[in-house]
A and B are shown apart, each in its own frame.
Chain A
Amino acid sequence: SQKIEQNSEALNIQEGKTATLTCNYTNYSPAYLQWYRQDPGRGPVFLLLIRENEKEKRKERLKVTFDTTLKQSLFHITASQPADSATYLCALENQGGKLIFGQGTELSVKP
């Protein structure tokens, strides 16, 4: 069955640095992959979607890459700010057509 692995350890970085989060998946290669942000006590919020034929996608300070050979997506936040502190979830469609989510990586940006 499809599995998604995100680094379960929290990522702590200094304000202004680039945060890089990793999402690895096994088995079935999805047609697209999504990233969501979740703040404590709230539901996930969609950030970016990248398709299998796209190597990279950008939105303001966010950048996502998708390597179908490595079965990996990287999520970058440049010039990070304390307001970027949250948990970031990777999600992809499994072979049954359902969206499945990784456990998420908690990002903490210190001033």
Chain B
Amino acid sequence: NAGVTQTPKFRVLKTGQSMTLLCAQDMNHEYMYWYRQDPGMGLRLIHYSVGEGTTAKGEVPDGYNVSRLKKQNFLLGLESAAPSQTSVYFCASSYRTIASDTQYFGPGTRLTVL
């Protein structure tokens, strides 16, 4: 099992450019998440999905869009990148129950917006 994979690993964008980050999981998890991690800020939830075809906003959704057309994939889009979106982006998936929500993370994508 590959677990959670993310592509690309690194990317540099100019302000105003667009890009899509791809997350894939092979654990048949219903829930998937996109986080950003900035120094001193911890992990912050951008968007999440509770199943194929569903998406919802997290704590910091502005400037991002997501899609979950297939259960195993969760895409994060930046339509017009801004320097404030320079960050490390992590995707995670989980098999959530009432008793737990253990999340499995991908290796991250380091994005720099100039």
Interface residues of A (CB under 8 A from B): 4, 8, 31-32, 34, 41-46, 49, 51, 89, 93, 98-104
Contact = CB atoms under 8 A, between A and B. Distances in A.
Given A34-B100, A89-B43, A98-B59, 17 more contacts: A8-B40, A31-B99, A32-B99, A32-B100, A34-B102, A43-B107, A43-B108, A44-B103, A46-B102, A46-B104, A49-B100, A51-B99, A93-B101, A98-B48, A99-B101, A101-B43, A103-B41
Interface of B: 4, 40-43, 45, 48, 58-59, 90, 92, 98-108
B103 A98 contact: no
A55 B103 CA distance: 22
Q: Is the interface of B mostly helix, strand, loop or mixed?
A: loop
B108 A41 contact: yes
A99 B103 contact: yes
A99 B90 CA distance: 14
A51 B99 CA distance: 8
Contacts of B98: 31
Contacts of B41: 103
A46 B100 CA distance: 12
B99 A44 contact: no
A89 B42 contact: yes
A45 B108 contact: no
A95 B9 CA distance: 33
Nearest to B91: A43
A8 B45 CA distance: 20
Closest 5 CB pairs of A and B: A43-B105, A101-B43, A103-B42, A101-B42, A46-B102
6 contacts: A31-B98, A43-B108, A44-B90, A46-B102, A49-B100, A102-B42
Nearest to A49: B100
A93 B43 CA distance: 13
A49 B58 CA distance: 23
A32 B108 CA distance: 26
